[in-house]
């Protein structure tokens, strides 16, 4: 629930802010007459996202176990790519988002056609919706608890929609730079967990070498093992890295919480651990460097009274 709530909150708030900016700008231009077109585009984007979610959820039932694992692992990799891109995209464009959206509205209105605003609303929300669908689906697959994940996502969306409405009306204020920095850092860890589970799926399917393939190192003598496969350094690189299932019961509360937040599983392969660690080190380092590089500019903007480009009331 925690992981899906965070995803729903961040992605939902991004979408709510984008829609809020578009609505506010059209109202300021005195073109509220085209708002229904904008809402058509938003509605189509939401319908597409729900449709993709339904296909991912119910479309795999007729597939073989191997095909399900291959599809699950591949889509999890796609989700990790989306999350990574989204984190850095928001870091780069947050301060220019309002200007870019205003330019999109101007171009759509200048074209004079009905579909310009519809397409603008669709594109602005569809990206967030598809990202959210893939990420939530991957989190549900890794955590194995669809009902609680759905509840968390709904709570996150509800909070984000409420917050977006209050922000766009200037009723509350929020430091968006700080919000997206903190949630971005947390999502780096969540994405690393999704990547680790993708490795697990692809290893089970035989796409990648692992404990279920012919390269798996068999345990020798009294060495630690899981199902006859070497564990620990003896299992490197295609065996198991560790097995703490005696202390952390698989499927238990602690295991489920760890798997849904940081990608921890009581039994993990070396490939999972390596992928998780490399993602944290590489993506985390780039993320932190960008945060540090942005601080001087933020301090300068604060000193001259500049606000984060967003709807009225957002700072």
Mean pLDDT along residues 53-73:
73
Mean pLDDT of 216-226: 72
Question: C-alpha angle with apex 112: 106 to 118, nearest 5 degrees?
Answer: 75
Total number of residues shown for the chain: 315
What is the rounded average pLDDT of the residues 91-101?
69
Higher pLDDT, 145 or 302: 145
What pLDDT is recorded for position 280? 95
Query: Residue 274's pLDDT band (boundaries 50, 70, 90)?
Result: very high
Q: Is the confidence at residue 42, as pLDDT, over 70?
A: yes
Residue 313 has pLDDT above 50, yes or no: no
pLDDT(238) > 80: yes
Q: How confident is the model at residue 164 (pLDDT cuts 50, 70, 90)?
A: confident
Angle (CA) 230 231 233, round 5°: 100
Q: For 19-27, what is the mean pLDDT?
A: 80
Residues ≥6 apart with Cβ < 8 Å to 293? none
CA distances from 315 to 158, 166, 176, 295, 309 (A): 21, 13, 7, 15, 8
- 8 Å CB contact between 198 and 73: yes
**Residue 306: pLDDT band with limits 50, 70, 90:** very low
Residue 300 has pLDDT above 60, yes or no: no
- Give the chain's radius of gyration (CA, Å): 22
Of 58-67, 74-83, 185-194, 299-308, the range with the lowest mean pLDDT is 299-308
User: What pLDDT, on a 0 to 100 scale, did the predictor assign at position 189?
Assistant: 87
- What pLDDT shows up at residue 2? 66
Percent of the chain exceeding pLDDT 90 equals 9
Q: What is the pLDDT of residue 286?
A: 92
Beta strands in the chain (DSSP E): 225-226, 229-230, 240-243, 267-269
Calpha distance 204→304 (Å, rounded): 56
Q: How confident is the model at residue 161 (pLDDT cuts 50, 70, 90)?
A: confident
Give bridge partners of residue 226 from the DSSP assignment.
Answer: 229
Q: Quick one: average pLDDT of 273-295?
A: 90
For the segment 67-89, the average pLDDT, to the nearest whole number, is 82
* Mean pLDDT value across residues 183-191: 83
Does residue 303 register a pLDDT over 50?
no
For residue 180, the SS3 value is helix
Q: Determine whether 120 is exposed, middle or buried from the number of CB atoms within 10 Å of its CB (0-12, 13-18, 19+).
A: buried
Band of pLDDT at residue 151, cut at 50, 70 and 90: confident
Average pLDDT over residues 256-283: 87
Query: Average of pLDDT values for 101-125?
Result: 77
pLDDT tier, 308 (very low <50, low <70, confident <90, very high otherwise): very low
- Model confidence at 297: pLDDT above 60: no
In angstroms, the CA 39 to CA 117 distance is 9
Pairing label, strands 240-243, 267-269? antiparallel
Evaluate if residue 171 carries a pLDDT over 70: no
Which pLDDT value is given to residue 296?
64
How does residue 56 score in pLDDT terms, banded at 50, 70 and 90? Answer: confident
The overall average pLDDT reported for the chain is 78
């Amino acid at each position: 629930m925690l992981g899906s709530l965070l995803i729903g909150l961040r992605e939902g708030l991004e979408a709510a802010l984008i829609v809020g900016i578009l609505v506010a700008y059209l109202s300021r231009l005195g073109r509220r007459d085209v708002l229904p077109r904008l809402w058509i585009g938003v509605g189509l984007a939401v319908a597409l996202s729900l449709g993709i979610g339904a296909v991912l959820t119910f479309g795999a039932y007729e597939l073989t176990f191997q095909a399900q694992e291959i599809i699950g692992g591949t889509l999890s990799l796609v989700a990790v790519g989306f999350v990574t891109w989204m984190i850095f995209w928001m870091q780069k464009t947050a301060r220019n988002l309002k200007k870019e959206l205003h330019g999109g509205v101007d171009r759509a209105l200048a074209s004079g056609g009905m579909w310009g605003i519809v397409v603008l609303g669709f594109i602005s929300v569809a990206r967030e919706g598809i990202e959210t669908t893939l990420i939530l689906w991957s989190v549900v697959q890794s955590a194995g608890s669809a009902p609680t994940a759905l509840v968390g996502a709904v709570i996150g969306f509800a909070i984000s929609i409420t917050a977006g409405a209050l922000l766009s009306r200037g009723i509350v204020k929020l430091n968006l730079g700080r919000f997206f920095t903190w949630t971005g850092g947390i999502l780096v860890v969540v994405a690393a967990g999704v990547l680790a589970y993708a490795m697990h799926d692809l290893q089970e399917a035989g796409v990648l070498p692992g404990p279920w393939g012919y390269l798996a190192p068999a345990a020798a003598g009294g060495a630690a093992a899981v199902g006859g496969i070497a564990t620990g350094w003896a299992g490197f690189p295609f065996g198991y890295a560790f097995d703490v299932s005696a202390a952390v019961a698989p499927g238990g509360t602690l295991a489920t919480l760890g798997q849904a937040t940081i990608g921890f599983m009581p039994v993990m392969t070396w490939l999972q651990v390596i992928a998780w660690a490399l993602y944290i080190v590489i993506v985390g380092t780039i993320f932190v460097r960008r945060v540090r590089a942005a601080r001087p500019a933020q301090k300068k903007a604060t000193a001259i009274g500049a606000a984060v480009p967003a709807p009225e009331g957002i700072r």
